[in-house]
Amino acid sequence: MADEKSNAEAYWKANVRLISGCLIVWALVSYGCAILLRPLLSSIPVGGTDLGFWFAQQGSILAFIGLIFFYAWKMNRLDKQYGLEE
C-alpha cells in the first residue's frame, strides 16, 4: 500500500512538472513573443510580415498544437513508466 502511494505521488509530481513546463512554454510563446517582445521581433521579416505579428497570428497557435502533441506523447511515456498504460 505504501509503495502504491509512493508510486502515485511520483506519477502526479511528474505530471504536474510536465504541465508546468508546457504552460511556461505556452506563456512565453503567446504572451512573450506575441505581445511583450513584439517590438524586438518586428525587425525580423517572415512571410511578408514581421516575426512578432506572425507569432501573434499563427506562431502561438502552431506552438499550442505542438504542445498538445508533445504533452500526449510525454503522458503516454509517463503512463508506461508508472504502469498505468491502457
DSSP, residue by residue, 5-47: HHHHHHHHHHHHHHHHHHHHHHHIIIIIIIIITHHHHTTSEET
Least confident window among 7-11, 25-29, 43-47: 43-47
Domain ranges, ordered by start, for the chain: 24-86
Confidence (pTM):
0.80
- Structure confidence at residue 79 as a pLDDT band (50, 70, 90): very high
**How does the average pLDDT of the chain come out, rounded?**
88
Give yes or no for a contact between 83 and 4, defined as CB atoms under 8 angstroms apart: no
